[in-house]
Protein backbone atom coordinates (compact mmCIF):
# COMPACT_ATOMS: atom_id res chain seq x y z
CA UNK A 1 0.00 0.00 0.00
CA UNK A 2 1.26 3.53 -0.83
CA UNK A 3 0.09 6.53 1.17
CA UNK A 4 0.76 10.21 0.43
CA UNK A 5 0.43 12.65 3.35
CA UNK A 6 0.21 16.39 2.71
CA UNK A 7 1.51 18.33 5.72
CA UNK A 8 3.92 17.39 8.52
CA UNK A 9 2.00 18.99 11.39
CA UNK A 10 1.05 16.87 14.41
CA UNK A 11 -1.81 15.20 12.50
CA UNK A 12 0.20 14.20 9.43
CA UNK A 13 3.29 12.99 11.30
CA UNK A 14 1.40 11.00 13.92
CA UNK A 15 -0.69 9.32 11.22
CA UNK A 16 2.46 8.40 9.30
CA UNK A 17 4.17 6.94 12.38
CA UNK A 18 1.16 4.88 13.47
CA UNK A 19 0.35 3.46 10.04
CA UNK A 20 4.00 2.49 9.68
CA UNK A 21 3.93 0.80 13.11
CA UNK A 22 0.87 -1.22 12.16
CA UNK A 23 1.83 -1.86 8.54
CA UNK A 24 5.63 -1.68 8.25
CA UNK A 25 5.47 -2.74 4.59
CA UNK A 26 3.43 0.32 3.67
CA UNK A 27 5.23 3.03 1.71
CA UNK A 28 4.52 6.47 3.15
CA UNK A 29 5.59 9.80 1.62
CA UNK A 30 5.03 13.05 3.53
CA UNK A 31 5.37 16.54 2.05
CA UNK A 32 5.88 19.63 4.21
CA UNK A 33 6.03 23.13 2.77
CA UNK A 34 8.14 24.47 5.66
CA UNK A 35 11.65 23.58 6.80
CA UNK A 36 11.85 21.12 9.75
CA UNK A 37 12.14 23.65 12.59
CA UNK A 38 10.00 26.32 11.02
CA UNK A 39 6.61 26.51 12.66
CA UNK A 40 4.08 28.91 14.14
CA UNK A 41 2.96 29.21 17.74
CA UNK A 42 4.40 28.25 21.12
CA UNK A 43 3.13 25.53 23.48
CA UNK A 44 0.02 23.36 23.08
CA UNK A 45 -2.04 21.79 25.86
CA UNK A 46 -2.85 18.10 26.13
CA UNK A 47 -5.44 16.53 28.39
CA UNK A 48 -4.73 13.41 30.35
CA UNK A 49 -7.03 11.39 28.07
CA UNK A 50 -5.07 12.41 24.98
CA UNK A 51 -1.78 11.20 26.40
CA UNK A 52 -3.41 7.90 27.40
CA UNK A 53 -4.23 7.21 23.74
CA UNK A 54 -0.63 7.90 22.73
CA UNK A 55 0.71 5.64 25.47
CA UNK A 56 -1.33 2.69 24.18
CA UNK A 57 -0.45 3.28 20.53
CA UNK A 58 3.24 4.12 20.82
CA UNK A 59 4.84 3.68 24.26
CA UNK A 60 8.22 4.86 22.99
CA UNK A 61 6.82 8.14 21.71
CA UNK A 62 4.75 8.50 24.88
CA UNK A 63 7.82 8.12 27.12
CA UNK A 64 9.63 10.86 25.19
CA UNK A 65 6.60 13.16 25.28
CA UNK A 66 5.92 12.60 28.97
CA UNK A 67 9.53 13.46 29.78
CA UNK A 68 9.19 16.83 28.03
CA UNK A 69 5.68 17.88 29.03
CA UNK A 70 5.08 20.61 31.60
CA UNK A 71 2.34 19.56 34.03
CA UNK A 72 0.10 21.47 36.39
CA UNK A 73 -3.17 21.11 38.23
CA UNK A 74 -4.73 24.58 38.61
CA UNK A 75 -6.77 27.10 36.70
CA UNK A 76 -6.11 30.63 37.98
CA UNK A 77 -8.45 33.50 37.21
CA UNK A 78 -6.90 36.95 37.47
CA UNK A 79 -9.16 39.99 37.47
CA UNK A 80 -8.92 43.51 38.93
CA UNK A 81 -5.85 42.77 40.99
CA UNK A 82 -7.19 39.55 42.53
CA UNK A 83 -6.41 35.95 41.64
CA UNK A 84 -8.64 32.98 42.37
CA UNK A 85 -7.06 29.54 42.23
CA UNK A 86 -9.11 26.50 41.17
CA UNK A 87 -7.44 23.16 41.86
CA UNK A 88 -7.97 19.51 41.04
CA UNK A 89 -7.23 19.50 37.30
CA UNK A 90 -4.55 17.67 35.33
CA UNK A 91 -3.00 19.39 32.36
CA UNK A 92 0.14 18.79 30.30
CA UNK A 93 1.65 20.98 27.62
CA UNK A 94 4.59 20.86 25.26
CA UNK A 95 6.23 23.26 22.84
CA UNK A 96 4.86 22.79 19.34
CA UNK A 97 8.38 22.75 17.91
CA UNK A 98 9.51 20.03 20.37
CA UNK A 99 6.39 17.96 19.64
CA UNK A 100 6.98 18.17 15.89
CA UNK A 101 10.63 17.29 16.29
CA UNK A 102 9.75 14.18 18.35
CA UNK A 103 7.16 13.10 15.81
CA UNK A 104 9.64 13.64 12.99
CA UNK A 105 12.27 11.52 14.77
CA UNK A 106 9.69 8.79 15.32
CA UNK A 107 8.73 8.85 11.62
CA UNK A 108 12.36 8.67 10.56
CA UNK A 109 13.04 5.71 12.90
CA UNK A 110 10.08 3.90 11.35
CA UNK A 111 11.14 4.58 7.76
CA UNK A 112 8.70 7.29 6.67
CA UNK A 113 10.03 9.61 3.94
CA UNK A 114 9.46 13.31 4.71
CA UNK A 115 10.23 15.97 2.11
CA UNK A 116 10.65 19.27 3.96
CA UNK A 117 10.60 22.64 2.24
CA UNK A 118 8.49 21.13 -0.56
CA UNK A 119 4.86 21.81 -1.34
CA UNK A 120 2.99 18.64 -2.16
CA UNK A 121 1.80 18.00 -5.70
CA UNK A 122 -1.94 18.58 -6.17
CA UNK A 123 -4.00 16.01 -4.28
CA UNK A 124 -5.80 15.05 -7.51
CA UNK A 125 -2.43 14.05 -9.04
CA UNK A 126 -1.38 12.16 -5.92
CA UNK A 127 -4.73 10.37 -5.89
CA UNK A 128 -3.81 8.66 -9.17
CA UNK A 129 -0.36 7.58 -7.98
CA UNK A 130 -1.12 6.53 -4.38
CA UNK A 131 -3.70 4.24 -2.78
CA UNK A 132 -4.60 6.90 -0.20
CA UNK A 133 -4.00 10.66 0.07
CA UNK A 134 -4.21 12.19 3.55
CA UNK A 135 -4.79 15.94 3.54
CA UNK A 136 -3.28 16.97 6.88
CA UNK A 137 -2.55 20.42 5.47
CA UNK A 138 -4.06 22.51 8.24
CA UNK A 139 -6.76 25.11 8.61
CA UNK A 140 -6.03 26.70 5.22
CA UNK A 141 -5.95 23.31 3.45
CA UNK A 142 -5.61 23.85 -0.28
CA UNK A 143 -6.70 20.23 -0.79
CA UNK A 144 -10.01 20.91 0.94
CA UNK A 145 -10.47 24.21 -0.90
CA UNK A 146 -9.90 22.52 -4.28
CA UNK A 147 -12.75 20.09 -3.59
CA UNK A 148 -14.89 22.12 -1.20
CA UNK A 149 -18.16 21.15 -2.86
CA UNK A 150 -17.39 17.45 -2.53
CA UNK A 151 -16.40 17.87 1.11
CA UNK A 152 -19.32 20.23 1.81
CA UNK A 153 -17.00 22.74 3.44
CA UNK A 154 -18.32 25.47 5.70
CA UNK A 155 -15.76 27.97 6.89
CA UNK A 156 -16.39 31.18 8.77
CA UNK A 157 -14.19 33.65 10.55
CA UNK A 158 -15.84 35.25 13.52
CA UNK A 159 -15.30 36.76 16.91
CA UNK A 160 -12.46 38.68 18.45
CA UNK A 161 -8.93 39.08 17.17
CA UNK A 162 -6.17 37.12 18.85
CA UNK A 163 -2.41 37.18 18.94
CA UNK A 164 -0.51 33.95 19.80
CA UNK A 165 2.52 35.01 21.83
CA UNK A 166 4.95 33.45 24.28
CA UNK A 167 6.62 34.69 27.43
CA UNK A 168 9.63 33.77 29.52
CA UNK A 169 7.53 33.85 32.67
CA UNK A 170 6.85 30.26 33.79
CA UNK A 171 3.17 30.31 34.75
CA UNK A 172 2.21 27.68 37.31
CA UNK A 173 -1.40 27.25 36.15
CA UNK A 174 -3.67 27.68 33.17
CA UNK A 175 -4.24 31.39 33.75
CA UNK A 176 -7.05 33.58 32.47
CA UNK A 177 -6.37 37.27 32.95
CA UNK A 178 -8.68 40.17 32.23
CA UNK A 179 -7.32 43.70 31.84
CA UNK A 180 -9.62 46.72 32.06
CA UNK A 181 -8.17 49.41 29.84
CA UNK A 182 -9.34 52.86 28.75
CA UNK A 183 -10.27 51.21 25.40
CA UNK A 184 -12.32 48.35 26.90
CA UNK A 185 -11.48 44.95 28.32
CA UNK A 186 -8.81 42.63 26.89
CA UNK A 187 -8.10 39.14 28.08
CA UNK A 188 -5.28 36.62 27.92
CA UNK A 189 -4.96 32.83 28.26
CA UNK A 190 -1.55 31.65 29.48
CA UNK A 191 0.00 28.32 30.48
CA UNK A 192 3.49 26.88 30.92
CA UNK A 193 5.00 24.42 28.48
CA UNK A 194 8.72 24.28 29.41
CA UNK A 195 10.95 25.77 32.08
CA UNK A 196 11.05 29.52 31.46
CA UNK A 197 8.48 29.36 28.66
CA UNK A 198 4.71 29.87 28.56
CA UNK A 199 2.10 30.43 25.89
CA UNK A 200 0.34 33.81 26.12
CA UNK A 201 -2.66 34.38 23.83
CA UNK A 202 -4.33 37.79 23.88
CA UNK A 203 -7.87 38.42 22.59
CA UNK A 204 -9.52 41.75 21.90
CA UNK A 205 -12.83 42.82 20.34
CA UNK A 206 -12.74 44.73 17.07
CA UNK A 207 -13.90 47.97 18.69
CA UNK A 208 -11.29 47.65 21.46
CA UNK A 209 -8.57 46.87 18.93
CA UNK A 210 -9.49 49.91 16.86
CA UNK A 211 -9.73 52.19 19.89
CA UNK A 212 -6.36 50.94 21.12
CA UNK A 213 -4.84 51.49 17.67
CA UNK A 214 -3.53 47.94 17.33
CA UNK A 215 -2.61 47.84 13.68
CA UNK A 216 -3.72 44.35 12.63
CA UNK A 217 -5.77 43.76 9.54
CA UNK A 218 -6.96 40.40 10.84
CA UNK A 219 -5.63 37.97 8.27
CA UNK A 220 -5.88 34.37 9.34
CA UNK A 221 -3.00 33.55 11.65
CA UNK A 222 -1.46 31.03 9.31
CA UNK A 223 -2.33 32.58 5.97
CA UNK A 224 0.07 35.15 4.58
CA UNK A 225 -1.05 38.65 5.53
CA UNK A 226 0.92 41.26 7.39
CA UNK A 227 3.14 40.29 10.26
CA UNK A 228 1.17 42.82 12.19
CA UNK A 229 1.51 41.74 15.77
CA UNK A 230 4.64 43.88 15.50
CA UNK A 231 6.86 45.15 18.31
CA UNK A 232 4.75 48.21 19.12
CA UNK A 233 1.56 46.18 19.71
CA UNK A 234 3.44 43.51 21.63
CA UNK A 235 5.23 46.01 23.87
CA UNK A 236 1.95 47.70 24.68
CA UNK A 237 0.32 44.36 25.45
CA UNK A 238 3.22 43.52 27.79
CA UNK A 239 2.56 46.84 29.55
CA UNK A 240 -1.19 46.21 29.81
CA UNK A 241 -0.64 42.74 31.34
CA UNK A 242 2.48 43.73 33.34
CA UNK A 243 0.97 42.55 36.64
CA UNK A 244 0.28 38.98 35.41
CA UNK A 245 3.55 38.88 33.47
CA UNK A 246 5.41 40.05 36.58
CA UNK A 247 7.70 42.11 34.41
CA UNK A 248 8.63 39.27 32.02
CA UNK A 249 8.97 39.76 28.28
CA UNK A 250 6.55 38.69 25.54
CA UNK A 251 7.92 36.90 22.49
CA UNK A 252 6.59 36.52 18.95
CA UNK A 253 6.79 33.61 16.51
CA UNK A 254 5.08 34.39 13.20
CA UNK A 255 2.52 36.09 15.47
CA UNK A 256 -0.23 37.91 13.61
CA UNK A 257 -3.53 39.35 14.68
CA UNK A 258 -5.99 36.72 13.48
CA UNK A 259 -9.55 35.59 13.87
CA UNK A 260 -10.51 32.06 14.77
CA UNK A 261 -11.39 30.17 11.62
CA UNK A 262 -14.30 27.78 12.15
CA UNK A 263 -13.99 24.84 9.73
CA UNK A 264 -16.57 22.08 9.32
CA UNK A 265 -17.08 19.56 6.50
CA UNK A 266 -20.17 17.55 5.68
CA UNK A 267 -17.98 14.67 4.51
CA UNK A 268 -14.30 14.08 5.29
CA UNK A 269 -13.35 12.08 2.21
CA UNK A 270 -13.71 12.27 -1.53
CA UNK A 271 -12.55 9.24 -3.52
CA UNK A 272 -9.25 8.20 -1.95
CA UNK A 273 -8.52 11.69 -0.54
CA UNK A 274 -9.24 12.12 3.17
CA UNK A 275 -9.18 15.21 5.42
CA UNK A 276 -7.54 14.97 8.83
CA UNK A 277 -7.00 17.42 11.71
CA UNK A 278 -7.53 21.14 11.13
CA UNK A 279 -8.24 20.63 7.44
CA UNK A 280 -11.37 18.68 8.50
CA UNK A 281 -12.43 20.61 11.63
CA UNK A 282 -11.28 23.32 14.02
CA UNK A 283 -12.10 24.13 17.65
CA UNK A 284 -11.60 27.50 19.31
CA UNK A 285 -8.26 27.67 21.13
CA UNK A 286 -9.92 28.64 24.46
CA UNK A 287 -10.51 24.92 25.00
CA UNK A 288 -7.05 24.06 23.61
CA UNK A 289 -7.74 20.77 21.85
CA UNK A 290 -6.91 21.05 18.12
CA UNK A 291 -3.60 19.20 18.33
CA UNK A 292 -5.12 16.43 20.39
CA UNK A 293 -8.02 16.09 17.93
CA UNK A 294 -5.64 15.99 14.94
CA UNK A 295 -3.57 13.25 16.61
CA UNK A 296 -6.64 11.25 17.62
CA UNK A 297 -7.79 11.47 14.00
CA UNK A 298 -4.41 9.99 13.06
CA UNK A 299 -4.87 7.09 15.47
CA UNK A 300 -8.38 6.34 14.17
CA UNK A 301 -7.26 6.51 10.54
CA UNK A 302 -4.25 4.24 11.20
CA UNK A 303 -6.48 1.62 12.87
CA UNK A 304 -9.02 1.82 10.04
CA UNK A 305 -6.31 1.45 7.39
CA UNK A 306 -4.82 -1.49 9.25
CA UNK A 307 -8.22 -3.20 9.20
CA UNK A 308 -9.49 -2.30 5.73
CA UNK A 309 -6.41 -1.25 3.74
CA UNK A 310 -7.11 1.74 1.50
CA UNK A 311 -10.63 0.53 0.68
CA UNK A 312 -13.52 3.02 1.04
CA UNK A 313 -14.59 1.14 4.20
CA UNK A 314 -11.46 2.49 5.93
CA UNK A 315 -12.50 6.08 5.34
CA UNK A 316 -16.09 5.41 6.37
CA UNK A 317 -14.90 3.72 9.59
CA UNK A 318 -12.47 6.56 10.34
CA UNK A 319 -15.12 9.25 9.98
CA UNK A 320 -17.74 7.26 11.92
CA UNK A 321 -15.27 6.83 14.77
CA UNK A 322 -14.12 10.46 14.94
CA UNK A 323 -17.09 12.63 14.02
CA UNK A 324 -19.02 12.30 17.32
CA UNK A 325 -16.01 13.34 19.46
CA UNK A 326 -15.08 16.14 17.10
CA UNK A 327 -18.61 17.55 16.95
CA UNK A 328 -18.92 17.36 20.72
CA UNK A 329 -15.69 19.35 21.11
CA UNK A 330 -16.84 21.84 18.48
CA UNK A 331 -20.06 22.45 20.45
CA UNK A 332 -18.09 22.98 23.66
CA UNK A 333 -15.60 25.23 21.91
CA UNK A 334 -18.36 27.35 20.36
CA UNK A 335 -19.91 27.98 23.80
CA UNK A 336 -16.51 28.84 25.25
CA UNK A 337 -15.74 31.21 22.38
CA UNK A 338 -19.11 32.96 22.76
CA UNK A 339 -18.55 33.34 26.50
CA UNK A 340 -15.30 35.19 25.85
CA UNK A 341 -16.97 37.31 23.17
CA UNK A 342 -19.52 38.40 25.77
CA UNK A 343 -16.95 38.88 28.51
CA UNK A 344 -18.05 42.47 29.21
CA UNK A 345 -21.34 41.15 30.58
CA UNK A 346 -19.47 39.41 33.40
CA UNK A 347 -16.59 41.69 34.30
CA UNK A 348 -18.61 43.65 36.91
CA UNK A 349 -19.64 40.54 38.79
CA UNK A 350 -17.88 39.98 42.09
CA UNK A 351 -14.67 38.00 41.83
CA UNK A 352 -16.19 34.72 43.10
CA UNK A 353 -19.11 34.89 40.66
CA UNK A 354 -16.86 35.89 37.77
CA UNK A 355 -14.54 33.01 38.51
CA UNK A 356 -17.44 30.54 38.71
CA UNK A 357 -18.87 31.76 35.38
CA UNK A 358 -15.54 31.46 33.63
CA UNK A 359 -14.70 28.02 34.95
CA UNK A 360 -18.10 26.55 34.09
CA UNK A 361 -18.64 28.54 30.87
CA UNK A 362 -18.97 25.59 28.55
CA UNK A 363 -21.01 23.44 30.86
CA UNK A 364 -17.97 21.28 31.41
CA UNK A 365 -15.70 21.76 34.34
CA UNK A 366 -12.34 21.72 32.64
CA UNK A 367 -11.20 23.21 29.40
CA UNK A 368 -10.38 19.97 27.62
CA UNK A 369 -12.31 17.17 29.10
CA UNK A 370 -13.90 14.72 26.80
CA UNK A 371 -14.23 11.75 29.10
CA UNK A 372 -11.01 9.73 28.90
CA UNK A 373 -11.11 6.73 26.62
CA UNK A 374 -12.78 3.76 28.36
CA UNK A 375 -10.10 1.34 29.63
CA UNK A 376 -11.31 -1.48 27.35
CA UNK A 377 -10.80 0.76 24.30
CA UNK A 378 -7.29 1.64 25.47
CA UNK A 379 -6.58 -2.08 25.88
CA UNK A 380 -7.80 -2.77 22.34
CA UNK A 381 -5.47 -0.13 20.94
CA UNK A 382 -2.59 -1.47 23.02
CA UNK A 383 -3.28 -5.01 21.76
CA UNK A 384 -3.42 -3.96 18.10
CA UNK A 385 -0.06 -2.20 18.27
CA UNK A 386 1.57 -4.87 20.46
CA UNK A 387 0.47 -7.50 17.92
CA UNK A 388 2.06 -5.44 15.13
CA UNK A 389 5.29 -5.25 17.16
CA UNK A 390 5.28 -9.02 17.68
CA UNK A 391 4.76 -9.62 13.95
CA UNK A 392 7.65 -7.28 13.19
CA UNK A 393 9.98 -9.00 15.67
CA UNK A 394 8.98 -12.37 14.17
CA UNK A 395 9.83 -11.16 10.67
CA UNK A 396 13.16 -9.71 11.81
CA UNK A 397 14.11 -12.94 13.58
CA UNK A 398 13.49 -15.04 10.50
Ligand X SMILES: Cc1cc2nc3c(=O)[nH]c(=O)nc-3n(C[C@H](O)[C@H](O)[C@H](O)COP(=O)(O)OP(=O)(O)OC[C@H]3O[C@@H](n4cnc5c(N)ncnc54)[C@H](O)[C@@H]3O)c2cc1C
The reply on whether position 296 binds ligand X by CB under 6 A is no
Site for ligand X (CB under 6 A): which residue of 3, 4, 8, 333?
8
Site for ligand X (CB under 6 A): which residue of 53, 166, 216, 277?
277
The reply on whether position 286 binds ligand X by CB under 6 A is no
Which C-beta is closer to ligand X: that of 272 or that of 387? 272
Which C-beta is closer to ligand X: that of 137 or that of 262? 137
**Residue 166: CB minimum distance to ligand X, A:** 11
Residues 334-393 that bind ligand X (CB under 6 A): none
**Residue 162: CB minimum distance to ligand X, A:** 6
Site for ligand X (CB under 6 A): which residue of 1, 27, 34, 170?
34
Residue range at the interface with ligand X (CB under 6 A); choices 1-9, 202-210, 318-326, 343-351? 1-9
Contacts 24+ apart (CB under 8 A), 48-55: 48/90, 48/92, 48/372, 49/369, 49/370, 49/371, 49/372, 49/373, 50/292, 50/295, 50/296, 50/368, 51/92, 52/372, 52/373, 52/378, 53/295, 53/296, 53/299, 53/373, 53/378, 53/381, 54/295
Which C-beta is closer to ligand X: that of 86 or that of 221? 221
How many angstroms separate the Cα of 269 from the Cα of each of 14, 112, 127, 137, 196?
19, 23, 12, 14, 42
Query: How far is Cα 328 from Cα 113, in angstroms, rounded to an integer?
Result: 34
The reply on whether position 51 binds ligand X by CB under 6 A is no
Site for ligand X (CB under 6 A): which residue of 7, 53, 95, 192?
7
Residue range at the interface with ligand X (CB under 6 A); choices 130-138, 202-210, 341-349, 376-384? 130-138
Q: Where are the beta strands (DSSP E) in the chain?
A: 2-6, 27-31, 43-47, 70-72, 75-79, 82-86, 91-95, 113-115, 132-135, 153-167, 174-181, 184-194, 197-204, 250-251, 258-265, 269-270, 273-275
Per-position x/- string for 190-209, each x denoting binding to ligand X as judged by CB under 6 A, each - no binding: -----------x--------
User: How many residues belong to the site for ligand X (CB under 6 A)?
Assistant: 33
Amino acid sequence: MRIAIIGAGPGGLYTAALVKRLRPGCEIDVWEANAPDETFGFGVVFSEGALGGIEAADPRLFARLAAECAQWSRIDVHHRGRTMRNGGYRFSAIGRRVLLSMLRTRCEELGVTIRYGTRAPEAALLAGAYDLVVAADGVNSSTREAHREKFGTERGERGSRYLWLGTDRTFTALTFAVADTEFGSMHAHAYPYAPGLSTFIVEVDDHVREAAGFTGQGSDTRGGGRADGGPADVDRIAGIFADVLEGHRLRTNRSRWGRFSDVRNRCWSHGNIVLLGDSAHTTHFSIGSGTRLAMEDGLALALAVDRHGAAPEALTAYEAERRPDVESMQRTARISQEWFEELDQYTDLGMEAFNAHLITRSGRLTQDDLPPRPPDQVELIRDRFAEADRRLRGTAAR
